[in-house]
Amino acid sequence: MIDRVLNVSLNDLSLGYQLDHAEQAVNKYESLQITSLGDALELFNIRKLLDNGARLNRWSDEEYEQLRTKTKSYNGQVAQYILFLDSDALLAEYDTQEWGYRRSFWEAVDQFKLFDAINEDFVREVVHGKINDLRHILQCKAIVEHYKVVLRDILLHDSQAALLLIDKYIARKDNPIERELYLPANLTMSDKQAIIRGYLDSEDPNINYVRLLCQNKDNPNGLELDVMTRLKAERLASKLNDEIMTDPRTVKVPRNMTVIFSNEENILPVKFKIEDGHPVYTYSVKYINECKGTLLLDNCISMFYWLNQHFLVELISKKCEVDSFEEVLHNLSRTAYPDFDHFCRKNSLAQVQLQGYCGALEKRNTSFEQVLKTFYEDHLSAAYGYPSLPLNFPKEDDSWLNKCRILFPELDAIVKQYNSYVQYDAIDPDVIRLSKPCNMSDGKSLLTNKYCEVPDGQSEIHRILWYMFAPGALLDYVEPFKGKHYGCLLELLLNEQVHYDIYDERKRQNIDYLMEHGIVKKADDGILAIVDNDMSILLQSLWEYHACSYWHYSECGRKHLDNMVEKGWLITSDMLLTTEERRYFSYYMDNSEYTNGFAYRNHYAHGSTPSVDDERTHLNAYLVFLRMLAIIILKMEDDLWCASRALSTSSYDFN
Per-run averaged pLDDT (10 residues), the chain, 655 residues: 80 86 90 89 93 90 91 93 90 91 94 92 91 94 95 94 94 78 95 96 93 93 94 95 91 88 93 92 96 96 97 96 80 88 95 97 95 97 95 92 93 95 93 89 95 88 93 89 90 93 89 94 93 94 97 95 95 97 95 87 77 86 97 98 89 62
Q: How far apart (Å, rounded) are the C-alpha atoms in residues 143 and 411?
A: 53
- Phi/psi class of residue 546: alpha, beta or left (left: φ > 0; alpha: ψ in -120 to 50)? left
Q: What local confidence, expressed as pLDDT, does residue 517 receive?
A: 94
Q: What local confidence, expressed as pLDDT, does residue 188 receive?
A: 96
Q: What local confidence, expressed as pLDDT, does residue 651 receive?
A: 55
Residue 278: burial class (beta carbons within 10 Å; 0-12, 13-18, 19+): exposed
Length of the chain counted residue by residue: 655
Q: What local confidence, expressed as pLDDT, does residue 603 receive?
A: 86
Domain ranges of the chain: 1-83, 315-447+581-649, 451-573
Q: What local confidence, expressed as pLDDT, does residue 488 receive?
A: 93
Residue 100: burial class (beta carbons within 10 Å; 0-12, 13-18, 19+): middle
Q: How far apart (Å, rounded) are the C-alpha atoms in residues 114 and 251?
A: 51
- Phi/psi class of residue 332: alpha, beta or left (left: φ > 0; alpha: ψ in -120 to 50)? beta
Residue 391 near residue 636, CB atoms below 8 Å: no
Q: What local confidence, expressed as pLDDT, does residue 654 receive?
A: 66
Q: Is the pTM of this model over 0.85?
A: yes
Q: How crowded is residue 321: how many other Cβ atoms within 10 Å of its Cβ? A: 15
b/e map 120-150, b = 16+ CB within 10 Å: eebbebbbeebeebbbbbbbbeebbebbbeb
Closest CA to 222 of 335, 134, 144: 335
Q: What local confidence, expressed as pLDDT, does residue 87 receive?
A: 87
Residue 280 near residue 260, CB atoms below 8 Å: yes
Q: Which residue type does 105 have?
A: F
Closest CA to 447 of 520, 352, 544, 551: 551
Q: What local confidence, expressed as pLDDT, does residue 401 receive?
A: 92
Q: What local confidence, expressed as pLDDT, does residue 652 receive?
A: 61
Q: How far apart (Å, rounded) are the C-alpha atoms in residues 31 and 341?
A: 58
Q: What local confidence, expressed as pLDDT, does residue 365 receive?
A: 93
